[in-house]
Amino acid sequence: MLGTGRVGTTLAQAFARAGYEVVIGSRDPAALDEERRGQLGEVPVAALAEAVAGADVVVDALPGEHAVEVVSSLGDLLDGVVVLDVANPLDTSHGMPPTLLVKDTDSLAEQIQRACPRARVVKSLNTVNAAVMVDPGSVGDGDTTVFVAGDDPAARELVARLLTELGWRDVLDLGDLTAARGIEMWLPLWVRLMQTLGTTRFNLRIVR
């Protein structure tokens, strides 16, 4: 798990509860305060390279503006590894609501894939907040949709299986990684809905 923020710690705990061996990677593990370490429970924290060494799946739960830099710094440690990218390229430098750092003809997920060409990048989970990521049943009785996109079909299938273990019932495969552009561009509307509804616990349901 890359990222010690709310998304990273929430997902780390959820996958640990599901029985997986989880390590959270941090640029400076010693800098974590006691409150954040308490939130992690028994999940260990290590330096980035140590955390991903030998991993089958690496989750990018970093702030979008730092994701490419940090993930690409791991180099060949990610060769052949499934990288589940849950980050969003949000730009809050001009206040709220945020804009996107990349959109339309590119995506953060594609930038990560280009930076790590031998990794197997899959975009998913970025369309909901951390609590809903690990507890989809808390919204609409679990009858909502989450998306996956990636160039490697086997990697998409693996991520879809992980999502079902978190409780997701409707995992919609959108195909190759260019679909991440649309998935990420949902975020400005998500922010507007959050402001209007006064909650972060909502999601899309694709009726077909």
Average pLDDT over residues 144-169: 98
Retrieve residue 51's tokens: 């955390």
Q: Would you say domain 6-197 falls under CATH 3.40.50.720? A: yes
CB 178 within 8 A of CB 110: yes
CB 9 within 8 A of CB 40: yes
Residue 153 has pLDDT above 90, yes or no: yes
Total count of residues recorded for the chain: 208
Scored b (16 or more CB within 10 A) or e, 94-110 reads: eeeebebbbbeebbbbb
Rounded CA separation 40/21 (Å): 13
pLDDT tens digits, 91-121: 888 877 888 999 999 999 999 999 999 999 9
Please report the pLDDT score of residue 121 as a whole number.
Answer: 98
Rounded CA separation 135/7 (Å): 13
Q: 66-70, 96-100, 123-127, 153-157: which range is least confident on average?
A: 96-100
Burial label for 117, CB within 10 Å (0-12, 13-18, 19+), is exposed
Residue 39 has pLDDT above 90, yes or no: no
* pLDDT band for position 38 (cuts 50, 70, 90): low
